[in-house]
Structure 1
């Protein structure tokens, strides 16, 4: 098991946001966190990445506990985050954004390089001299994904992978994630596009009020329309 989260509790001040969160991601697997807005998906990602202090529970990565580690140390273990809102560097060029994150701490045989990132996202190659704040929303999302890949992560985490993007750009992002899956990249993804997630992921966790209320395969989720309506609003 690459990532395992067990009985996780987290708070914002005095307000509890996670109530015994449970999830797992295996090597080479694509797993989702699904649910309506405000149910704890981003909070879970922040807790896993060490961006939010937890009060109870365990986060393990490759068999070692990381729930009390600093966020930069967690990232160095091989967790790459594409955050909600992209958060690229607006005053750096596309090339500089990518190079700023470049690392291959696990000595991967075929690491992500600037050339490989540009091959993966040709539009970024075309815009490589543009500043981050000169890109469209879709281009910024591609850059955020590319920046995370330049860390050569063992686990790629995407928070709201296609939120606010035009349909053609969403299709391109899903196509890229499908390619990463075929290459064996482990991925944890948050998004609201149920159809695309069912087509991409191996397993799903549905979150309601800070806890997982259902876990299962894509086949099981696709068959259960009542479950989708109850928790996902589709």
Structure 2
């Protein structure tokens, strides 16, 4: 579904991605791991068209999308839950969801009703403004908003950052539900122990390069990976 090869990206003269390789198959959950500042969000932003690549290839369902503007990347079927949520604070929950609704690939799987079924709390607060929601509710809304685009690939940047443990558990359960429905997902998060039972494969980034990649079983079996690349 998504194939990233030899990806390079830079902020002006400062190159931050050097040789990123990443692949996600249909129905697969893949994580992008690494310490802060190692290039995870830059990788996502480059794939999503929010940054222009300096080199390399980004193919989605066989189509080269490197360098396309972000709205065209979204139209290909990639939905983003951005770091910091970035919901519309002056719109209601329901207006936030309706604002991104799209059905580009036939009958939509995700509608207001199905998002509310996944997140009943959003249904309860559907008339509240985005600014009136808790952090956990805002994250649910950000996920629901991305799902309303009916993406083929869902990308979550810092899926549970700053959330209370009970809310994090709800988000992980949501992602497990999506995985059971064969939703392809790329997720960035620091909670490695929660990601291991959820994800099929992991990609670890160190200083703008892929330092390690493997399955959940391989990551769980090798404690040195966490010590070398993930622990602060």
Same fold (TM over 0.5): yes
The C-alpha deviation readout for 1:15-50, integer Å capped at 9, x for no partner, is: 111011110100000000000000000000000000
Q: TM-score, normalised by structure 2?
A: 0.99
TM-score (norm 1): 0.98
Give yes or no for the alignment of 1:205 onto 2:203: yes
**1:64 alignment counterpart:** 63
Corresponding residue for 2:13? 14
Corresponding residue of 2:130: 132
4+ residue runs over 3 A deviation: none
Aligned pairs for 1:104-143 within 5 A: 104-108=103-107, 111-143=109-141
Note the residue ranges of structure 1 that are not aligned, 5 or more in a row.
none
Aligned partners of 1:153, 1:17: CA distance in 2, in Å? 28
1:84-131 Cα distance to aligned partner (Å, 9 max, x none): 0000000000000000010010114x5200011001000000110000
C-alpha displacement of 1:55: 1.3
Look up the match of 1:41: 40
Partner residue of 1:174? Answer: 172
Q: Within 2, Cα distance between the matches of 1:198 and 1:71?
A: 30
SS at match of 1:21: strand
Matched, 1:94 2:93: yes
**Partner residue in 1 for 2:159:** 161
Q: For residue 185 of structure 1, what is the aligned residue in structure 2? A: 183
Give the match's secondary structure for 1:213.
Answer: strand
Alignment partners' CA distance in 2, 1:227 and 1:70: 35
